């Protein structure tokens, strides 16, 4: 049970500067440079992290390659790998509160959400893949009798995992757990602006018995460390979550180097479609408000477009706005806070810029739109709602990644589908209707990796998450994630 008094004991504790983790060493970057870690709660300097160089990245890649080639991890029995991963999850769980508070101070997610979505999810994910790794069987192909065709799963080699600042533990674990479970080595590049809790869990992996060199962590700038990883001839797979802009760079760098596979979990502009026959309008409005405004909208699957039937438009928007206005935005270390801080000052500026652009394009600022709590020194913004947003508007087409909702009205089902599908993204969607047949039709016609029906945002580790269109390719979570981290090999044996 999360208690405010326990959080308060940790909220101001000193945070040690963080090193790189390369092979068996915890070290400074080669040129000694660091990055300041600024807390979005109040703009104060929390600590520093090593700013890795290109050489640091290459050293980490060499360490990972050496560990893979001598089979110190992939050569262990599945049962042995499982035990290490389970021990790792146990160690993380022991530090759950410390890790959560550290992460919240670093990235600003409200603690009521972070305790489950960050540490809880990371522990669950690691246990899931630990338990799954010895349930992956090869195949015997239905060949002629005089041959035997065996299909083996093999680890790919060195995985470059590059992750963003929202939910670093959850998304980090989504990459690390299946990659390590399959026997790969990993070089992890956490975000510049939220890496502290992720760095700590990687240290715990060594304590749990993961052999040195199998997991390496190089913090630092994306255009230096991330670029070096993506250009390396010795990295076999990039497992990425982040923006489309970075995703494009990774694909280019893959083509310019060894054509490594790139799995990209990118952004979204997810439509949440509400029909006039919605069963419980008030409940739908409340869930829809949470779907965009929790974590200040910094959620890849955020329900950032409300597409609502004209006949209930005013009533629904009014109800949603009421819930949005009642949400407690503020210090994410308070248990009662429902929407925490914006991760960094650059993101806040971008969010506010979208407010300006939307107004200039003729959308109606229905509620919010301003920065708040400036006296804290932190980065906070009001839950913001625009109505009368046209499909061609910037606000309808571009991911804000902040607490800004774009509302558009539709006439009928065909109209709703057209509006919902009218972006380059395809990550998530929602449908609210009492008509089961319509719900199924809409699930089929919406182009998205996940479609929520009469709810928004629920998930667990057993189902895949990934986008279509420019929301990316490949899937995190579920048994499907293993596909990214293994190769198939056929043995063709003459009998
Ligand atoms: P970002 O693309 O700016 O950064 C992500 C990571 O890439 C960071 O570690 C960064 O240092 C690194 N990077 C930056 N430039 C690079 C380069 N040139 N080469 C290699 N690496 C580089 O994204 P962000 O702002 O940290 O995260 C927000 C984005 O992530 C949003 O678009 C959001 O929708 C997306 N996201 C997607 C999912 C999903 O599952 N689809 C989940 C969470 C976040």
pLDDT, tens only, 236-257: 999 999 999 999 999 999 999 9
Token reading at 61: 């890649």
Confidence of residue 228 (pLDDT cuts 50, 70, 90): very high
- Cα–Cα distance measured from residue 64 to residue 72, given in angstroms and rounded to the nearest whole number: 11
The active-site residue, picked from 227, 265, 382, 399, is 265
How confident is the model over 223-227, as a mean pLDDT? Answer: 98
pLDDT at 323: 98
- Cα–Cα distance measured from residue 453 to residue 455, given in angstroms and rounded to the nearest whole number: 5
Is the CB of residue 401 below 6 angstroms from any atom belonging to ligand 1?
yes
pLDDT at 209: 98
Q: Domain 4-266+472-494, CATH 3.40.1190.20 — does that match?
A: no
Q: Domain 271-460, CATH 3.40.50.720 — does that match?
A: no
Tell the burial category of 181 from Cβ atoms under 10 Å away from its Cβ (0-12, 13-18, 19+).
Answer: buried
pLDDT at 1: 87
pTM of the model: 0.97
Q: Is 202 designated active site?
A: no
How confident is the model over 209-217, as a mean pLDDT? Answer: 98
How confident is the model over 127-147, as a mean pLDDT? Answer: 98
| Rg (the chain; Cα; Å) | 23
How confident is the model over 457-472, as a mean pLDDT? Answer: 96
pLDDT > 90? residue 24: no
423 contacts: CB under 8 Å, gap ≥ 6: 269, 271, 305, 396, 397, 469
Helix, coil or strand: residue 273: strand
Q: How many helices (H) and strands (E) does the chain have?
A: 16, 21
How confident is the model over 336-350, as a mean pLDDT? Answer: 98
Helix (H) or strand (E) holding 36: strand 34-38
The active-site residue, picked from 74, 202, 300, 486, is 300
Q: Where exactly does CATH 3.40.309.10 map onto the chain? A: 271-460
Q: Where exactly does CATH 3.40.605.10 map onto the chain? A: 4-266+472-494
CB atoms within 10 A of CB 142: 6
* Mean pLDDT, all residues of the chain: 98
How confident is the model over 183-204, as a mean pLDDT? Answer: 97
Q: Ligand 1 center to residue 398 CA distance, Å?
A: 15
**Taking Cα atoms as reference points, which of 56, 344, 1, 370 lies closest to residue 188?**
56
> In this structure, which residue's CA is closest to atom 18 in ligand 1?
223
Token reading at 424: 């380059």
pLDDT at 397: 97
Q: Is 93 designated active site?
A: no
- Cα–Cα distance measured from residue 157 to residue 68, given in angstroms and rounded to the nearest whole number: 6
Helix (H) or strand (E) holding 155: strand 147-155
**Distance set, CA 278 to CA 389, 458, 464 (Å):** 22, 18, 27
Helix (H) or strand (E) holding 347: helix 345-360
Is the CB of residue 166 below 6 angstroms from any atom belonging to ligand 1?
yes
pLDDT at 385: 98
Q: Decide: 206 and 156 in contact? Cβ < 8 Å.
A: no
Report the alpha-carbon angle 268-401-392, nearest 5. 60
> In this structure, which residue's CA is closest to atom 28 in ligand 1?
242
pLDDT at 440: 98
Q: Which atom of ligand 1 is nearest to the CA of 193?
A: 26
Q: b/e per residue, 61-79, with b = 16+ CB within 10 A? A: bbbbbebbeeebbbebeee
Secondary structure letter of residue 311 according to DSSP: G
How confident is the model over 111-138, as a mean pLDDT? Answer: 97
- Tokens 């869990």 label which residue? 201
């Amino acid at each position: 049970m999360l208690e405010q008094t326990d959080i308060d004991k940790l909220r101001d504790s000193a945070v040690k500067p963080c090193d790189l983790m390369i092979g068996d060493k915890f070290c400074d970057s080669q040129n000694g440079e660091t990055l300041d870690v600024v807390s979005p709660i109040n703009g104060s300097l929390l600590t520093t992290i090593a700013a890795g160089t290109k050489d640091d990245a290459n050293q980490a890649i060499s360490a990972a390659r050496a560990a893979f080639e001598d089979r110190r991890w992939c050569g262990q029995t599945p049962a042995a790998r499982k035990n290490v991963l389970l021990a790792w999850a146990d160690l993380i769980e022991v530090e759950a509160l410390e890790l959560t508070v550290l992460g919240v101070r670093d990235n600003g997610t409200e603690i009521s959400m972070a305790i489950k979505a960050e540490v809880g999810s990371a522990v669950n994910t690691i246990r899931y893949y630990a338990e799954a790794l010895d349930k992956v069987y090869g195949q015997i192909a239905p060949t002629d009798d005089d041959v035997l065709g065996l299909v083996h799963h093999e680890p790919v080699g060195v995985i470059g995992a590059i992750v963003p600042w929202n939910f670093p533990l959850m998304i980090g674990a989504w990459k690390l757990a299946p990659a390590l479970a399959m026997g790969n080595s990993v070089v992890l590049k956490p975000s510049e602006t939220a890496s502290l809790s992720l760095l700590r869990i990687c240290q715990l992996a060594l304590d749990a018995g993961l052999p040195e060199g199998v997991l390496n962590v190089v913090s630092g700038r994306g255009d230096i460390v991330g670029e070096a990883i993506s250009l390396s001839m010795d990295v076999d797979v990039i497992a990425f979550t982040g923006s489309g802009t970075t995703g494009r760079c990774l694909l280019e760098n893959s083509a310019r180097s060894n054509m490594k596979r790139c799995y990209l979990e990118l952004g979204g502009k997810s439509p949440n479609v509400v029909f006039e026959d919605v069963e419980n309008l008030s409940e739908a409005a409340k869930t829809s408000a949470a779907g965009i405004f929790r974590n200040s909208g910094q959620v890849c699957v955020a329900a950032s477009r409300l597409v609502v039937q004209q006949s209930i438009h005013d009533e629904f928007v009014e109800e949603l706005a009421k819930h949005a206005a009642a949400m407690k935005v503020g210090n994410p270390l308070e248990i009662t806070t429902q929407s925490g801080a914006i991760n960094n000052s650059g993101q806040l500026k971008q969010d506010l810029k979208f407010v300006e652009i939307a107004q200039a394009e003729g959308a109606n600022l229905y509620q919010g739109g301003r920065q708040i709590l400036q006296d804290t020194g932190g980065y906070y913004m009001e839950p913001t709602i625009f109505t009368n947003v046209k499909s061609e508007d910037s606000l309808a087409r571009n991911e804000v990644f902040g607490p800004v909702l774009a509302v558009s009205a539709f006439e009928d089902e065909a109209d709703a589908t057209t509006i919902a599908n009218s972006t380059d993204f395809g990550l998530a969607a929602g449908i609210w209707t009492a008509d089961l047949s319509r719900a199924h039709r809409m699930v089929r016609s919406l182009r998205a990796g996940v479609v929520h029906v009469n709810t928004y945002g629920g998930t667990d580790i057993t189902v895949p998450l990934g986008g279509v269109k420019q929301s990316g390719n490949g899937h995190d979570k579920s048994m499907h994630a293993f596909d990214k981290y293994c190769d198939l090999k056929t043995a063709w044996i003459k009998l």
